[in-house]
Amino acid sequence: MNGKIIRSIICLALAACGLASERAVYATRESVDVLATGLSGLPEMIAPAGFEDSGVSLLGGCRGSLDWGDFENDGDLDILISGYVSYGQKYPIVTKIYRNENGNFEEIQTSIIQLFDGATAWGDFDNDSDLDILITGYDGTTTYSKLYRNDGQTGESGWIFTDMNAKFVNVGAGSLDWGDYDNDGDLDILLTGLSSTVPITKIYRNDGASINSGWQFTDTNAAVDGVMKSGAAWGDYDNDSDLV
Ligand SMILES: [Ca+2]
Ligand SMILES: [Ca+2]
Ligand SMILES: [Ca+2]
Ligand SMILES: [Ca+2]
């Protein structure tokens, strides 16, 4: 990888699980880079035509989730990844952030919860020009949906992500996407997954800062079917300049 990334494609095999050695970053001559996690036996995930293995080794891609994002605003894409470390072994479960240092990915220290079978995505929910984190999944015994605010570097290799104690429904086996569906300039949340034994789909409206330094996300009670082991994405299907 190099700094000439034009765009990124995220490939994720959520319901599957693979060998640690098969998690890798791929790069092409067109400067389109692919980061993939997933299952041994999915050849299209292992060696897509025209891509070569960059040799980058990451932990946490088994039954995992991932996202690219420049969380420290230095102009290159970094990696957020969660999941098992190795196939067939439920533990350890990790959530890791790798900082891109000229194509070398260096792990940074955070206090983000360790989850698998979930979803992760960078998004600047508080519009302060740095990427925050939404993450869902299992920790081995229960499910979580957590929002972390990016509060900057601490020490040489640490980064502060503050748990906002958001009141989202906790889900596993889900997916999520940030999007400003009401066009008011802030990112809202589309969230799916299994809550207890019930598949859910929730849309949370971002209503800004609340007293006691919290943040208000309001459940819109949207009439959307609940789903799990799913994919969720906003899109302006009717081209009327909104995401619904
Ligand atoms: Ca960066
Ligand atoms: Ca932010
Ligand atoms: Ca909004
Ligand atoms: Ca629309």
Shortest-distance ligand to the CA of residue 122:
2
Burial 53-88 (b: 16+ CB within 10 A, else e): ebebebbbbbbbbbbbbbbbeeebbbbbbbbbbbbe
Of the pLDDT bands very low, low, confident and very high (cuts 50, 70, 90), residue 227 is confident
Q: Kind and range of the H or E element at 45? A: helix 43-46
- Cα–chain-centroid distance for residue 194? 17
- Helix, strand or coil, per DSSP, at residue 212: helix
- Segment 111-140 shows an average pLDDT of 96
Q: Cα 225 to chain center, whole Å?
A: 22
Which tokens in the block code for residue 112? 């983000």
Give 101's contacts (C-beta < 8 A, 6+ positions apart). none
- The band of 2, judged by pLDDT with boundaries at 50, 70 and 90, is very low
DSSP code per residue over 184-200 = SSS-EEEEEEEETTEEE
Question: b/e map of 100-109 (b: 16 or more CB within 10 Å)?
Answer: beeeebeebe
Residues with CB under 5 A from ligand 2 (ion): 124, 126, 128, 130, 132, 150
In this prediction, residue 62 has a pLDDT band, given cuts at 50, 70 and 90, of confident
Q: In the prediction, which pLDDT does 212 show? A: 74
Looking at all shown ligands, the one closest to residue 160's CA atom is 2
Give the ligand with the smallest distance to the CA of 207. 3
Q: What is the mean pLDDT of the chain?
A: 81
Token pair recorded at residue 236? 């302006």
Q: Is the peptide bond before 92 cis (omega within 30 degrees of 0)?
A: yes
pLDDT of residue 205: 97
pLDDT exceeds 50 at position 111:
yes
**Model's pTM, two decimal places?**
0.83
pLDDT band at 138 (very low <50, low <70, confident <90, very high): very high
Tokens linked to 194: 């299994």
* Closest alpha carbon to 34 in 54, 15, 62: 54
The bound ligand whose nearest atom lies closest to the alpha carbon of 79 is: 1
Position 15 pLDDT exceeds 50: no
CA of 193 from ligand 3 middle (Å) equals: 22
Taking 60 as the threshold, does the pLDDT of residue 16 lie above it? no
The Cα–Cα gap between 116 and 17 comes to 11
| Chain mean position to CA 222 | 23
